[in-house]
A and B are shown apart, each in its own frame.
Chain A
Amino acid sequence: MSLDVNPAGRPPDNGLGSEPTEPYRLVALEARRRHVGLGEILVERAIQVTGISAILLVLLIFVFLVREGLPTFADVPFGDLVTQRWYPIEGYYGLLPLIAGSLLITIGAATIALPLGVATAIFIAEIIPNWGREILKPFVEVLAGIPSVVIGFLGMVVISPLFRRSLNIPTGLTAFTGMVLLAWMALPTVVSVVEDVLDTVPKTYRDAGLALGMTQWQTIAKIVLPAGKSGILTALMLGVGRAIGETMTVMMVTGNAPRIPQHPFDVFMPARTMTATIAAEMGEVARGSTHYHVLFAVGLTLFLITFVVNLAAASIVFQRTRRSERMLS
């Protein structure tokens, strides 16, 4: 729409200095509104419904989780939920091992995936020539398409025996195996997000750095990366979200022993995550029983953890954009 009556053909500066254009725009909108057909109304409504349904779905999931999970607190005293023993068929409902297992594996996976992912993204976005990028990028994206059960199977028959022999640990089905595989699965997300962000850093920034006599490495480390900080944070959070919700792979390779890690070496011991617990036990549990409600309470806990992670990420990201916007203007 070329309704802008901008004298020098300049793009409007954020709509703030373009007061004269407003009346024209309103008139145009009015004119358009008078000619809308039935089809257009339907399409608009359809888009509206899909938009709202996303919010509604999340709310309904939350309501359902609360509804099925809350009876837990009537059935099981809270003190019993924060114990260290999970053996639900005999009424031991200690959630601590499951929460510890999920957090340990998620944090571990993020710790491995973030540096690897950022390094890969820098390589793709900054260092490798264009032809290399054309080859490398699709490969990274294909990685995201591998089903988790395939990765789990690979982990079970190849990676875990490898870890057991090379690290000389009692069994290869450990939290560490889960971390490595989850990091591998989160990698494509991290790489694409960071790479996209690095792409949006203006070329002039790099030119300025190089013109000041900085090496390429200094330009990347001191200028490009700080400029893309919020994107890296988003990537981290998306990676964490991917890792904490993953079920099949962890169920196959972490050994599922509900134990609380006692010292750092325990990453080489088995662990049980919340997701694997729900997946393994929900199928056989009697509907409406205490065990059923406790599994929903586990789901609720998981939901709350991801919610807090996302909220924290969003608030940090927004803060940063606002500050950088201020700095640029």
Chain B
Amino acid sequence: MLRQALTDAALQSLGIGVEYHPVRTHTVVRPVSKLLCLALLTLTACRPIYTRPARNGPATAAIENKGSDTMVNLALAWAERYRELHPEVNLVVTGGGSGTGIAALLNNTVDIANASRAIKPEEEAAARANGVVPVEFTVARDAIAVVVHPSNPVDTLTLQQVSDIFSGKIQNWQEVGGEDRPIVRLSRETNSGTHIYFMGAVVRLGRADDRTLLSTDTLLLPSSEGISAEVRENPNTIGYEGLGYVTGDMKTVALGLTPEGPFWSPSIETVRSGDYPVAREMFMYTAGEPEGAIRDFIDWVLQPEAQAIVQALGFVPIEE
């Protein structure tokens, strides 16, 4: 299946290659492209052999790690540090999304799948049908903070209010106990994992069938820094960011589920206790209880040294 996909990709890229040549040489390009195709086919046929060396060889080990794009920077940072400590272990990290990673694990093509969500029951069933028993490790946590200008008197919001603000039902800060100011909504661009998580967990309140969309007035900023800059400067704004991006010169809003409270501010403690409502766990899955080099790597990931990297990248480390 993988080989088929790779061949398709190769053919497609060649198709584009042909377009770059002047029309006159079109007939000349054809046989060349066939040759190239052959070469690529041969290469892709080789691929599984050289990327998966003997797993329990004493001198070297290879670990393939694939999945969540949210986690890919974290996984890369871990891999980089781990390679310094254990040069004999070859760690390969790729993204593609949580679903891609889990699917690869089920097909036994990766050793570790990264996922920013828990495995779904149907995925688990498919795994068992394939003779794979996925084992879950919580390796980090991620919280999203709702941020406003420091001068904004609003301290608490319910998730419903945040949802109504971002969907455009609430247009003025007065409606949620603030000053008489228009609300300026700030969001990341749609390609951001944080955007997608925020849409699902807050704007749609975790309801799978909810099709609420952001208000068209929502500013879509290309970076977290863009959001920070505007929140620091403009008292009308409301935005959201990963906890690691929040600095002292903006204000985080405490979030609650009901208007009566309780409300929780995002912090490492409230995230760890599971109280803060906009937080998620990030997982690594292995096929069966891990052994050898994979076990060593996952054990290291749960150690303080690796968890310090978690904090440095703006995520919340797990407790000891």
Give me the interface of A with B, judged by CB distance under 8 Å: 56, 60, 63-64, 67, 84-85, 87-90, 92, 97, 156-157, 161, 164, 170-173, 251-252, 255-260, 269-270, 272, 280-281, 283-285, 287-288
Contacts and interface: CB of A to CB of B under 8 A. Distances in A.
A284 B191 contact: yes
Contact of B219 (A171, A280, A283): A171
A88 B191 CA distance: 10
Given A63-B19, A164-B234, A170-B182, A87 B191 contact: no
Interface centre among A64, A90, A255, A288 (most CB of B within 10 A): A255
A171 B190 contact: no
B45 interface: no
Interface stretch (B49-57, B225-233, B245-253): B225-233
Nearest to B233: A161
23 contacts: A87-B214, A89-B196, A90-B213, A92-B213, A156-B226, A156-B229, A157-B229, A170-B183, A170-B184, A170-B236, A171-B184, A171-B230, A171-B236, A172-B234, A255-B220, A256-B219, A256-B222, A257-B220, A270-B219, A280-B189, A280-B191, A287-B12, A288-B12
B308 interface: no
Contact of A171 (B19, B189, B191, B234): B234
Contacts of B222: 251-252, 256, 280
Nearest to B69: A284
Nearest to B219: A255
A81 B218 CA distance: 21
Interface of B: 9, 12, 16, 19-20, 22, 181-184, 189-191, 196, 211, 213-214, 216-222, 226, 229-230, 233-234, 236-237
Contacts of A171: 184, 219, 230, 234, 236-237
A161 to B, nearest CB: 5
A284 B222 CA distance: 12
Contacts of A90: 211, 213
Contacts, number: 80
A64 B226 contact: no
B277 to A, nearest CB: 23
Given A64-B19, A164-B234, A281 B217 contact: no
* Interface-central residue, B182, B214, B233, B236, by most chain A CB under 10 Å: B233
A85 B191 CA distance: 17
A281 B229 contact: no
A269 B217 contact: yes
Given A85-B216, A89-B190, A259-B217, 14 more contacts: A63-B19, A64-B20, A90-B211, A156-B226, A164-B234, A170-B182, A170-B183, A171-B234, A251-B222, A256-B189, A256-B220, A258-B220, A270-B219, A280-B220
